[in-house]
Structure 1
Amino acid sequence: MKKFHFAMLLFLLVFLTAGITTFALAFGDEKVVQNPTVNEREEFDKLYTVFDTLKQDYFKDVKDSKLINGAINGMIEALDDPYSDYMNEEEANSFHQSISSSFEGIGAEIQEQDGHIVIVTPLKGSPAEKAGLKPNDKVITVDGKSLQGMSSTEAVTLIRGKKGTKVELSIMRTGMEEPMNVSIIRDTIPLQTVYGKMLDGGIAQVQITSFSQNTTSDLEKVLTEMKDQGMKGLVLDLRQNPGGLLDQAINISSMFVPNGKIIFKVEDRAGKIQEYKSENQGNSTTPLVVLIDKGSASASEIFAAAVSESAGIPLVGETSFGKGTVQRAQDFEDGSNIKLTTEKWLTPKGNWIHQKGIKPDYEVALPEYASLQIIDPEKEYKISSSGNEVKSAQKMLKAIGFDPGREDGFFDQNTENAIKALQKDAQLDQNGVLSGKTTMMLMDRLRTQIEQNDTQLMKAVELLKAQMGS
């Protein structure tokens, strides 16, 4: 495949480039200001004046590095672009860990939107997913500290932490009247990105959770395993995939887009457009359907648009996230770095999906109970309790077969009896109180129920069977 002329383009929170770009803004004493090179840049006169004034007249001493970092950060923030960011050494180190084999944290991709930190998607099997976090949840506070106005990189440094430690998030979800507190125990988050299993009728479901360093090779291995198990049709699941390495998205797109067909286009600030085409050396004839949802972003959207517009492959699910820009990152010698938006990408037909997303060919929603409010396992709900959490619990109980007979948020005797029935079935202490292990069991069973009644997957299987003539 033709080498991608960017050193490496990444999406969302995973951006790196090969090599180090030196970016020198000279701040300092009068000697620096009088440097002939600096005098040629009159636009910096005001900046140097402010620097010198703060150094000389501020009521206490300020480190040069703090002022310089602040100036750089201010320039990046002035772009009003959630995908451009400046990272100090500590933040950059956390950033680089994002494409390592593993990291320690809660396992959720986040981004800044309109001054808020928003969950893009929880990673598969992560503490964040198990705690019930959903795409578009707003993180209001971390351990009581407000995230208002923070960049996503700053928020990441607060949310991540050592395995086994607890972090308290305050979450606001659409439809909620007030934030809910969620306690999550951090863990090691392995970056396994491809999961495959055989369904009935020779149909394989292969999920790609992100586009990381080894995703192409891992997908090839999983597809070989599925073929060995009799795969006749394939559902490629990109739901809640926040993106990742662009070269991986290109490689994987080329596995399914015919040779010579456009995968995507890149348009720079001057309006110059460059096309990137498939160099497919094989001829995949396996019927394919792709699943997307509102958590499918960035590189996932490049893949979805490529197979849809250049290969006629049907998309099923919900409209995707809508990230149509390209970022580069530049590392500095002191360990800090900046990432900045440099181009926008277009679909093969020239569409810019930024802030609009990709609309699937078949729009299918998950059952209503798939988006119920999280219940905090550290809280206790019992007779006479009331509120949105109780209402959510009642709907969960009904969904998993323990109908309490009401869904109005008032904890009555029938609600207690339903919880006791769940506790008995799960071999837990039958005290009729919703908390701790009972809450976790309730949410675990709901998750299983969602998987067993995956309406989006069912539609994809239906389409494949029609293609396969069965």
Structure 2
Amino acid sequence: MYTGMKVVNVLEEEKKNVDSSTEQINGYIRIKKFKFVMLIFVLVFATAGVTTFALAFGDKKAVNVVANNRPEFNKLYAVYDKLEGNYYKDVNKDKLINGAINGMVDALGDPYSDYMSEDEAKQFNESISSSFEGIGAEIQEKDGFIVVVSPIKGSPAEKSGLKPNDKILAVDGKSIRGMSANKAVLLIRGKKGTSVKLTIQPASSKVTTEMTIVRDNIPINTVYAEMMQNGIAKVQITSFSENTYNEFVKALDDMDKKGMKSLIIDLRQNPGGLLDQAIKISNLFVPEGKKIVQTEDRKGKREQEVAESGNKFNIPVAILMDEGSASASEITAAALHESAGIPLIGHKSFGKGTVQTATAFKDGSNIKFTVAKWLTPDGEWIHEKGIQPDFNVDLPKYASLPIINPDKKWKVSDVSSEVKTAEQMLKAIGYNPGKVDGLYDKQTKNAVEKFQKEEHLKVTGTLGGDTTLQLMNKLRDKIISDDPQVKKAVEVLSGK
């Protein structure tokens, strides 16, 4: 979802390279939810110049000069020298230095400040293009676990049934518990056509399951539009990337040609992205001169971005958001809500209200750290609080059903929690599995056979493989077609 670019400076000079809801890496601003990371994503980090240079090249004289000028570093250099000269075997100097930097940044206690070594940065730089190879999902590190933020639309991850908040416990049998998100990315990413086995703990279950996902080429598309009934268009923005504004404008032009009379902007499960794209999109709806976003530094000094003149869309608009809407998504939602009176529908947003900047060093490593906080047009800091919708609307219970491992086969007399999940899915999409109790009985078999026949699958009466994948796909289609949040937005726009 991220494409790498030279970011347009959208705030005042002190806000260059700063995204009040995202983090900029090599001129690229990205969001993190705790430690938001795409499966193709690696966090970027940079170090403090002279000191890093001296350590990196092992120049004792240079180290001593710096240490004398900065006595607070004496202990650090003393430990380094002790380990280098007296440890019982040769030490890896790069690992020592990287570990020291990691420790320094971790000591901030800030989930949005991070370090990335040369190898990790290189992996990331290969990712920020118009497409990438992987399974197509974003992850974060949260409380020692690697958690799915959101699968990319149409990706192998989405087709396999991965959902937000699912925990990834192991990759190809290797535990990643306690591992940083950027290191987990290195294990999960891979070339198109290769497979990776993930051990998953679904968000709504304590039972783990394994799934094998075949990696593919993932194109970066961030805007998806469709014309609904009565001239209501729905445009989904999955992230704010290099071309999102242009994609969005094109989508609106296409919808306008189809008779668009009102608009739903879907920001659900959108973790953010480039600040300039969020501002440009907000500028299409916020009246000239009104605030879009404010930033505040550690001294309390505030600066603001206001809407400029230009083409404005003066049609009824509603915004969909949820707990996965973060950072740039929250900036857009707050700007349109507070400065343009546009209603918000869904669930409370994530609540990420800090600003990061990143700088790369010559050796390829990077440092990324928080430099400010951002505020809504009305001056509210939504950090760790989120934005409350005007209309709180829940999704149906079946929308939170866990994934089923397609590598397993279930037949008559089998009993498991996955069988129960399958029964719930079958019932939700209109097939009668009998009693939903986790027992694969004759009624369950009959429901599976009927489903296989109507979906033109091999009729076996057993659940697994393509049948499992298609069952999860049909449930996803059901969720989309019966989406109560979209229905509420239509109701609001229709004035009912």
Specify if TM > 0.5.
yes
Q: Provide the secondary structure at the position in 2 that maps to 1:418.
A: helix
| Match status 1:9 vs 2:18 | yes
Cα displacement (A) at 1:317: 1.0
2:61 corresponds to 1:31 = yes
Give matches, 1:49-448, under 5 Å. 49-448=78-477
Q: Which AA in structure 2 matches 1:16?
A: I
Any idea what the Cα deviations from partners look like across 1:66-110, whole Å, max 9, x if unmatched? Answer: 211111111112222222111112211233345421111121122
**Cα distance in structure 2, aligned partners of 1:430 and 1:264:** 57
- One-letter amino acid of the counterpart of residue 338, structure 1: I
Unmatched 5+ residue regions in structure 2?
Answer: 1-7, 29-45
Whole-angstrom CA distance in 2 between matches of 1:92 and 1:13: 18
Deviations 1:238-265 (A, max 9, x none): 1111111111111111111111111111
Deviations along 1:39-59, one digit per CA (max 9) or x if unpaired, are: 011111111111111111112
Deviations 1:121-169 (A, max 9, x none): 1111111111222222222222222222222212221221111111122
In the alignment, the residues of structure 2 paired with residue 462 and residue 296 of structure 1 have an alpha-carbon distance, to the nearest angstrom, of 22
- Contact 2:21–2:328 (CA under 8 A) maintained in structure 1: no
**C-alpha separation in 2, matches of 1:225 and 1:33:** 61
Taking only the aligned residue pairs, the percentage that are identical comes to 56
CA contact (8 A) 1:195 1:208 kept: yes
The aligned amino acid for 1:328 is: T
5+ long unaligned stretches in structure 1: none
The more displaced of 388-397 and 12-21 is 12-21
Q: Distance in 2 between matches of 1:74 and 1:251?
A: 38
Q: 1:171 Cα shift? A: 2.1
Q: Which is further off, 5-14 or 336-345? A: 5-14
- Give the Cα–Cα distance (whole angstroms) in 2 for the partners of residues 378 and 32 of structure 1: 58
Distance 2:216 2:437 in 1: 36
Q: Does the 8 Å CA contact 2:262/2:317 hold for their aligned counterparts?
A: yes
CA contact (8 A) 1:12 1:83 kept: no
Query: Is the 1:256–1:280 contact (alpha carbons within 8 Å) kept by the matching residues of 2?
Result: no
CA–CA distance in structure 1, aligned partners of residues 151 and 69 of structure 2: 49
**Secondary structure, aligned partner of 1:329:** strand
C-alpha distance in 2, partners of 1:31/1:282?
A: 61
Kept after mapping to 2: 8 A contact 1:202/1:230: yes
Query: What secondary structure sits across from 2:470 in the alignment?
Result: helix
Pairwise CA RMSD: 2.0
| Between 113-122 and 13-22, the greater mean CA deviation after superposition | 13-22
TM value normalised by structure 2? 0.90
Q: Which amino acid in 1 is paired with 2:75?
A: K
Quick check: 1:391–1:407 contact (8 Å CA) kept in 2? yes
* Greater RCO (Cα-Cα under 8 Å, separation 6 or more): 2
Give the C-alpha shift of residue 312 in structure 1. 0.9
1 CA distance for matches of 2:21 and 2:297?
Answer: 19
The aligned length equals 466
In structure 2, C-alpha distance between the alignment counterparts of 1:428 and 1:243, rounded to whole Å: 39
| One-letter amino acid of the counterpart of residue 31, structure 1 | K
Going from structure 1 to structure 2, the CA distance change for 1:11 and 1:401 (only over 3 Å counts) comes to farther
Please give the secondary structure, in 1, of the residue aligned with 2:50.
coil
Matched residues in 2 for 1:43 and 1:372: separation?
A: 53
- In structure 2, what is the equivalent of residue 465 of structure 1? 494
Whether the 8 Å contact between 2:22 and 2:356 is mirrored in structure 1 is no
Structure 1 residue 193, shift from structure 2 partner? 0.7
Residue 24 of structure 1 and its aligned partner are, at CA, apart by: 3.0
**SS at 1:24 equivalent:** helix
Whole-Å Cα distance in 2 between the matches of residues 172 and 21 of structure 1?
36
Give distance in 1, aligned partners of 2:149 and 2:238: 12
1:256–1:98 CA distance, 2 compared to 1 (3 A): farther
Q: Any conservation in 2 of the 1:99–1:213 contact (CA below 8 Å)?
A: no
Q: Is the 8 A contact 1:99 1:212 kept in 2?
A: no
Amino acid at match of 2:169: I
Contact 1:206 1:235 in 2 (8 A): yes
Supply the distance in 1 between the matched residues of 2:100 and 2:318 (Cα, whole angstroms): 48
Residue 342 to residue 98, structure 1, CA distance change in 2 (3 Å)? farther
Residue 337 of structure 1 deviates from its aligned partner by 1.0
